[in-house]
Structure 1
Amino acid sequence: MIRLENVVSDRGSRYAVTGGAVQGRAGVDAFLREVKREKKFAKATHNSWAVILSGEGPVKNDDGESGAGAVILKMLDREGLTDCVVVVTRWYGGVHLGGDRFAHVVTCVRAFLEAWRKGSG
């Protein structure tokens, strides 16, 4: 599991990214439970995630951050990364970010992918 905290801060909102290898939907569910074992992640406003499972195809969940799962999924697809779930966590800071929130999701996923390449290269 790779976790990068405080990747982005904007107008009170904070973002983190967590990701790692999984096997099947049961593996995804277990990974999400592990992420949320830490209280601050369980209480986060959004834990948006996506994965491309080699046996089942793409799966995503916005967790209330409309469109975030699709952004993560598109980046995983471009990277050709399968069986690796990526979770972008947001703690809402009280100010709506509009479209900037998508740029922050992209920044988080890029940071994860860079760390992933270093760790598996």
Structure 2
Amino acid sequence: MLKKLGIILTDKGSKYAVSGCPVSDTEEIEAALKTLKSEKAYAKATHNTWGALLDKDTPLKSDDGESGAGMVILRMLEREGLTGHLIVVTRWYGGKHLGGDRFRHVQSCVRSYLETLCK
């Protein structure tokens, strides 16, 4: 079941949200993304970047136009040793470029999601 934490932070008009769920194969990743994007707000988002480690040898990611964001998510999953899980960071562009801050925001969203798993 897809867990959505909603909007985690805003910066210069851009909004960031995070979602995720356990997955065991690419079909489950596709189904989770379809479920997320079935909500109008997420379907209209500028970027739905994601990363998943199906097992230690199968990292999958998508930047969805936010170059490098998928790798940030994957690195954090690898550091946590969290396999079989999909994390999606959604961004609604606010009209101003964020530069390197966008990667810190992706990290903040992933951290927030990982903290909810520990509760």
Question: TM-score band, normalised by the shorter chain?
Answer: over 0.9
CA-CA distance at 1:30 after TM superposition: 0.5
The aligned counterpart of 1:104 is: 105
1:1-121 mapped onto 2 (5 Å cutoff):
1-54=2-55, 57-118=58-119
Contact 1:2 1:112 in 2 (8 A): no
Point out 4+ residue stretches in structure 1 off by more than 6 angstroms.
none
Task: Name the SS for the 1:6 alignment partner.
Answer: strand
Q: 2:112 and 2:3 mapped to 1: Cα distance?
A: 10
CA-CA distance at 1:56 after TM superposition: 5.9
Alignment TM-score, normalising by the size of structure 1 = 0.94
- The one-letter code of the counterpart of 1:83 is G
- The structure-2 alpha-carbon separation of the partners of 1:3 and 1:30, relative to structure 1 and needing over 3 Å to count, comes to same
Q: 2:80 and 2:47 mapped to 1: Cα distance?
A: 24
Q: 2:80 and 2:74 mapped to 1: Cα distance?
A: 10
CA-CA distance at 1:55 after TM superposition: 7.8
Q: In structure 1, list runs of 5 or more residues that go unmatched.
A: none
CA-CA distance at 1:54 after TM superposition: 2.0
Greater Cα shift, 80-89 or 2-11: 2-11
Contact 1:19 1:85 in 2 (8 A): yes
CA RMSD of aligned residues (A): 1.1
The Cα offsets for residues 1-39 of structure 1, whole Å up to 9 and x where unpaired, read as 221112010000000000010120111001100110101
Alignment TM-score, normalising by the size of structure 2 = 0.96
Alignment size in residue pairs: 118
Q: 1:110 and 1:55 mapped to 2: Cα distance?
A: 20
Q: 2:16 and 2:103 mapped to 1: Cα distance?
A: 11
